[in-house]
Copies of this chain bind each other. A is one copy, B any other.
């Protein structure tokens, strides 16, 4: 090995295989190293050979086609007690897989306490915590009730929900109305301002919008999402354009109601003042679309992915009664002034129904400006979408991305492909404070953990 060896004339660089943290440590010390994104193949990989992959491919195509063909329409805004199946007075729904009060994370506990106060079942946060722990409250996953909820995802029986009909399929998806950012119930806050806002939403916002929605004869949510994807939104963490489009649809109908101008102005300003107002409607639509997969035999597609802040869980279209779970990961992102990564609660919320339906993180190529909210660079946004093509069964026919020459978004996560490629779904998410009562502290990104997908594949191979 001499200086004359042409191999070494350009200087020697270390190559780092696998863990990126080692690469970052080298870079921090000024070493110019090459990183290779490599992972040891999954132990579950061998199971793939045991499957009838041709039959599965065909079944997956039928299954994902139903998601793509879904036509979610906002048909009403109703009280959860009337709309949501099994919504008794003592029932509290939450995001993610089922979890007991004892194992609930801070922000979900905070939201439960707030909901019990809001429902008049408790007077103080302390009373609420005692009641929640008493066994008198029945907790259940939103997903078991055709419902989804962002972050804590807490739904109690007096709250109003968007009622989205999947036209042509007949199933419904439900989600509460978005409260705004910062100190809000879904991020675990429960102070007097939070309860007051929920009360106004129940008494003014929801009944007013209900009139507008009924007068509209139904608002096509798929159409709004498709437009918003041409306007820099991915409809999970960026809903700027979609919210404006929804407002544009609703306002003429609001003006046609018997509401007075000042009430209409209050409702308008509430929607216009929250760039995420569309999110909850989109989630209800995604729930209605992805629930068409429930019970699709012979498939390997994920029909649900959701987090309760303690665990993340997936359900398979082929065995929807079973949750495959793993500890919730930790999103890395950008924090509001005064907060840091140390304040962050682990990954939380049903909003990953967006990714399961082919938008959100999967459609980030359409939303380069989102990196200002969740971190990273615009080219990362495109890379995430390209990676998701690797693990999905199809491209969406209605959701197109201009930056990728109008390619359809990746849709239909196939656990076989996840295990084969080592790529798990990208999630972009809000970040709650880990303590009850605080609220949102930032937004960021993470990948779902691999182990759930390996467990799911094992279960499929065992059938």
Q: Do A252 and B268 contact each other (CB < 8 Å), given the known contacts A402-B378, A405-B379, A406-B378?
A: yes
Q: In the assembled complex, how far is the CB of residue A378 from the closest CB belonging to chain B, in whole angstroms?
A: 5
Is A272 an interface residue, CB under 8 A from the partner?
Answer: yes
Is A245 an interface residue, CB under 8 A from the partner?
Answer: yes
Evaluate contact between B268 and A251: CB separation under 8 angstroms: yes
Across-interface contacts of A251 in B (CB, < 8 A) = 251, 268, 272
Q: In the assembled complex, how far is the CB of residue A227 from the closest CB belonging to chain B, in whole angstroms?
A: 8
Map CB proximity to B onto A227-250 as digits: 1 under 8 Å, 0 otherwise: 100111100000011001101100
Across-interface contacts of A230 in B (CB, < 8 A) = 232, 240, 369
Q: Do A262 and B269 contact each other (CB < 8 Å), given the known contacts A232-B231, A244-B245?
A: no
Is A403 an interface residue, CB under 8 A from the partner?
Answer: yes
Across-interface contacts of A227 in B (CB, < 8 A) = 240
Q: How many copies does the complex hold?
A: 2
Is A264 an interface residue, CB under 8 A from the partner?
Answer: yes
Evaluate contact between A402 and B231: CB separation under 8 angstroms: no
Map CB proximity to B onto A252-291 as digits: 1 under 8 Å, 0 otherwise: 1001100001101100110010000000000000000000
Across-interface contacts of A377 in B (CB, < 8 A) = 405
Most chain B beta-carbon neighbours within 10 Å: one of A245, A255, A262, A264: A255
* Chain B residue at smallest Cβ distance from A269: B252
Is A97 an interface residue, CB under 8 A from the partner?
Answer: no
Q: In the assembled complex, how far is the CB of residue A404 from the closest CB belonging to chain B, in whole angstroms?
A: 8
Q: In the assembled complex, how far is the CB of residue A276 from the closest CB belonging to chain B, in whole angstroms?
A: 15
Evaluate contact between B244 and A265: CB separation under 8 angstroms: no
Q: Do A403 and B405 contact each other (CB < 8 Å), given the known contacts A247-B248, A255-B265, A264-B255?
A: no
List A residues at the B interface (Cβ < 8 Å).
227, 230-233, 240-241, 244-245, 247-248, 251-252, 255-256, 261-262, 264-265, 268-269, 272, 368-369, 371-372, 377-379, 402-406
